[in-house]
Chain A
Amino acid sequence: MKLQRMNRRALALGALAVSGALALTACGSDDTGGNSDGGSSNAAAPSNVKCDDAKGQLLADGSSAQKNAIDAWVKQFTAACQGVQINYKGGGSGAGVTAFTQGQVAFAGSDSALKPEEVTASKKVCSGGQGIDLPMVGGPIAVGYNVDGVDNLVLDAPTLAKIFNNQITNWNDKQIQKLNPDAKLPDLKIQAFHRSDDSGTTDNFTKYLMATAKSDWPYDGGKTWQAKGGQSASGSSGVAQQVKQTNGAIGYFELSYAKDGLKTVDLDTGAAQPVKATVENATKAISEAKVVGTGKDLALELNYGTKAEGAYPMVLVTYEIVCDKGNKADTLPGTKAFLRYIASEDGQKILAENDYAPIPADIISQVRTTIEGLS
């Protein structure tokens, strides 16, 4: 095969295209990573961020679910503390925890609390201490749907479980009609979309189904989707995209992806009124959570079965994972200052602007106390 005979001009053109593409990508990542200098948000840098002697570069990795929240925080924080550079890779919770237990990052983000064996692994990195979970970001998991002519769909946990388990397969099913007496449900096949990648969103969504509709959701739960059938897409953005594209589709994703006219399901939790997926309603549900972590660990146990008025129980809480003792000396001031800022009132306020739910007051105050004690 005389490939070398291939025309040089063809190669040159190819090389041009490749280098052009590379140049474009490089520009793209610069834009998202850097701060837009002179932007209005920078001008109003929060005055009450305490930088202390924080400086240098902080590396962090973890949950992609909270990536947008972290980005917003980093923007504000670095505007106030010029000497600190924070680099959060949204590589996924698993990657974050692995990087943390290998001592590569100052803190990690995760959709689920550390498992016992991960705590054990963290003791190698945190000399004299261990990794702890600090709840920092809440988020409602919205169930989006795309059915022409149906605008205010109400579903409860058993119906959701049956839809995602292929036991209800048509939109004009009696059980859906019963929950939506006024809706004109079409004779249309339901196309249920789940995540194809392992995900904390799947974990929390199925935890909700397991807690509230055990008989209709006979699976073990976890980050891997376990029900057979249905369709899947990669990432919350992928699921949202598919739901938008496909008539008759339904799928779950974080609320911030429910954009561009995507309709979301109201949950019938047993309260007097069906509950909408909003950040306020999510915070209300998280406030019923119990702290189950021991010592300084603040892992939460959510009350999925809540019937409180206006509490949206299908929520996700992401944690920041740090060492309680034995943080690296060069990153400790920066980590502490950043965590202190994001747990502050200002920090939590930014969450709602980005479709995340702030952590309720009594839990976040425990988080603040714990942060002050980090060493």
Chain B
Amino acid sequence: MGTPTQTIETPPPASQPTADKRAARGATRPGDRIFLALSRGSGILLLVIMAAIAVFLTYRASLAISKDQGNFLTTFQWDTNLVPPDFGIAVLAFGTVVSSIVAMVIAVPVAVAIALFLTHYAPRRMRGPIAYVIDLLAAVPSIVYGLWGALVLVPHMNGLFGWLNDYLGWTGIFSWQGGAPRSMLTVGILLAIMILPIITNVSREVFRQVPQMHEEAALALGATRWEVIRMAVIPFGRSGVISASMLGLGRALGETMAVATVLSPTFDIQASLLDPGGGTFAQNIASKFGEATEFGRDALIASGLVLFVITLLVNGAARAIIARRKEYSGANA
């Protein structure tokens, strides 16, 4: 950047000392300074935005919670139009956590399998196209997932639900009373599909970073391909996969429209994953917002605050895991 200016400026003696100064201070040419200011500004801006969100949520939430006649944490109801209003997040917290866990249980093994297949088994020519298709899953808007779920997935779940009820009904978790299959399990399956791309992508990156030497050493000792994966690839990639899963979990926790379309929300907790009912924070906000009064919105914001806290905890956990296994993690390579 400095060079063109020097050639244009006419008196050479005047430009000489400034050039020396610049060199003395190291990399502080205008471009660097602008970039430093920009990036520092962005960092500060991010903190300010987060703080503003937190302050706004806390303030509006406190307005609502102070008038709640029920217990905000344990009430199984959401009626902000009652006088006095009666609402609580028990069902929403339960539903959010359960649907996300179901999604993780389904998505993580599949995503890891896809990532391993792409990095170690698939013919080189297939890797690209399969990766593109998985990336495209992330580009589908969630309302489209919702519509697909309601129109295609739900009507086809009866068979699976009947089978689960017949063979695993005794566990209680998989008992089914024959309601429309718009339950936490269906939501979990849908969420699993939605979080698949991010977990797959990050896991694939991690598995690609496994040092070639490790794998070659294992092969030299006579390991089969599966043994290489088990002994070299998976231990190396474990923390990366965990953090990828946390990213996916964060997405599943906050998913809104797809859940609102597919779930049959009611304000009670079902022991069975197959019986319709339950709800999630984001779904509840989406479905109650349109008709909510000023106070109703404050109450929804209060529930949003709880989701905010849960998501922060998840992100914090992910960062902690990455930090603890820094040396080994391919995620930081």
Please give the residue numbers on chain A whose beta carbons come within 8 Å of chain B beta carbons, in ascending order.
Answer: 1-3, 5-7, 9-11, 13-14, 17-18, 21, 64, 91-95, 97-98, 189, 191, 193, 196-200, 220, 222-224, 226, 228-234, 238, 241-242, 245-246, 249
Contact = CB atoms under 8 A, between A and B. Distances in A.
Contact of B260 (A14, A21, A193, A234): A234
Interface residues of B, number: 49
A198 B139 contact: no
A191 B182 CA distance: 12
B291 A245 contact: no
Contacts of B261: 234, 238
A334 to B, nearest CB: 26
B318 to A, nearest CB: 11
Interface in B99-119: none
Contacts of B68: none
Nearest to A90: B290
6 contacts: A1-B240, A7-B128, A7-B131, A13-B135, A91-B290, A245-B155
Is chain A's interface secondary structure helix, strand, loop, or mixed overall?
mixed
B276 A17 contact: no
Contacts of A238: 150, 261
A233 B128 CA distance: 40
B49 interface: no
Interface in B67-83: 78-82
Contacts of B332: 1
B265 interface: yes
A234 B296 CA distance: 18
A197 B154 contact: no
Contacts of A13: 132, 135-136
B180 interface: yes
B311 interface: no
A185 B180 CA distance: 20
B178 A189 contact: yes
Nearest to A6: B201
A52 B27 CA distance: 70
Contact of B290 (A17, A18, A94, A228): A94
Nearest to A102: B294
B179 interface: yes
B288 interface: yes
Contacts of B333: 2
Interface string B274-303: 001100000000011011111010000000
8 A-B pairs with the lowest CB-CB distances in the bound complex, closest first: A92-B290, A198-B291, A197-B287, A94-B291, A231-B264, A17-B139, A14-B139, A224-B79
A9 B130 CA distance: 13
Given A11-B135, A245-B154, 6 more contacts: A13-B135, A64-B290, A91-B290, A94-B293, A220-B82, A231-B277
Contacts of B315: none
B60 to A, nearest CB: 14
A198 B296 CA distance: 11
B190 interface: no
Contacts of B182: 231, 233, 242
Interface in B58-95: 78-82
Contacts of A222: 79, 81-82
B215 interface: no
Nearest to B138: A14
Interface in B115-169: 128, 131-132, 135-136, 138-141, 150, 154-155
Contacts of B132: 7, 9-10, 13
Contacts of A241: 150
B291 A14 contact: no
B79 A226 contact: yes
Given A3-B205, A222-B81, A249-B180, A197 B266 contact: no
